[in-house]
Amino acid sequence: MRPGDFLALTNLPILHLIPPLNASLSRNISDTSTAYTFSRVFSSRDRKTLASTAMSRENAVIRDRESLERKTAAIRSAGASKLQVIADFDGTLTKYSINGRRGQTSHGLLQQGNTEYDEKRQALYDYYHPLEYSPTIPIEEKTKLMEEWWEKTHGLLIEGGLTFDAIKKSVADATISFRDGLVELFEYLEEKDVPVLIFSAGLADIIEEVFRQKLHRSFKNVKVVSNRMVFDNNGRLISFKGKTIHVLNKNEHALDMAAPVHDKLGDPNGSVDDYTMVKNRTNVLLLGDHIGDLGMSDGLNYDNRISVGFLNDNIEKSIESYKEAFDVVYLNDASMWGVVDLVSQLCPSNQ
């Protein structure tokens, strides 16, 4: 997610919790990669879910099956108390597209209520976005450019008089939506007391509002680590908390940088004290939609990491690099059901 992404997506219905079920695994091996399909025993009321689940499994690609199985066994043996989940937000937890249209991001959905300042933010995007992907700019220089971009964007939000009401209206009018199976995934992780850290270079207040409006519920184990706003008594933005988190420093070091994670969605006492808790959880399930998202675990000395990548677009051009980078790759804007199955193996219901 980047300042100025203006995209569109239609909403999906809210899902209801179904009990986690044991999964059996069948493999179709082709060359060096493995396509996984899973079968489950569902009751008649879950037949629609079964069709979605089967489709998700068929869209999964694993390059090194034996490595994945070793990691899975090691994490399962260590238990849920040693596991944490680190996830990107846009294009990972949310759907990338529907009916051929790009999905709207949590930053791109924001309408400031001031056309002049919306246009100014878009102009910054048009200038800095190509620099972000330039292969000729050294990382040190690029990091400074990203800091510059984020700081200018935040300045425009303050100067343009952004209000919390504008955020709520922007989310209400947006077409952003979560992947099928996301609720069930978070429910299962909450039951197992596995923390979920959502790292985003965007705006925590918008992400939390998306959760409120689109899921209509909270999760005590979910924490958003992102840029957090400060509003005055009239609901007008006056500043940002902590240091700026941008696309090139979005990792577990951000726990040191971020202001207290005062998460309105879950535990109101949540704070960077959670840093100690996650540092003791040395097994990681990482979810992302860009290879750069693998850096989200850079600040953690983990024992085992299973990385899951969502390859949503340009599949033919990117599949090889994604296979090399991630343990599991889901294609074609897949659902979360494959991740639900994976988590049920990492943290069995009888454990």
Identify residue 10 by its one-letter amino acid code.
Answer: T
Q: Which candidate, 341, 18, 342, places its Cα nearest to that of 184?
A: 18
Catalytic one of 5, 31, 46, 88 = 88
Name residues whose C-beta falls within 8 Å of residue 337's C-beta, 6 or more positions apart in sequence.
49, 52, 53, 56, 57, 180, 181, 184
Q: Are 89 and 107 in contact (CB under 8 A)?
A: no
Longest dimension (CA), the chain: 62
Q: Are 122 and 4 in contact (CB under 8 A)?
A: yes
CA 86 to CA 252: how far, in whole Å? 9
Q: Which helix (H) or strand (E) holds 254?
A: helix 254-257
Residue 90 is among the residues annotated as catalytic for this protein:
yes
Q: Are 2 and 200 in contact (CB under 8 A)?
A: no
Name residues whose C-beta falls within 8 Å of residue 37's C-beta, 6 or more positions apart in sequence.
26, 28, 54, 57, 58, 60
Assign 178 to helix, strand or coil. Answer: strand
Write out the two tokens for 175: 């077409």
Catalytic one of 90, 274, 289, 333 = 90
DSSP-assigned letters across all residues of 191-241 = HTT--EEEEEEEEHHHHHHHHHHHH----TTEEEEEEEEEE-TTSBEEEEE
What residues are paired with 98 via a beta bridge? 101
How many Cβ atoms are within 10 Å of 318's Cβ, its own excluded? 18
CA 217 to CA 14: how far, in whole Å? 11
Residue 64 is among the residues annotated as catalytic for this protein:
no
**DSSP classification of residue 309:** E
As a whole number of Å, the CA-based R_g of the chain is: 20
Write out the catalytic residue numbers: 88, 90
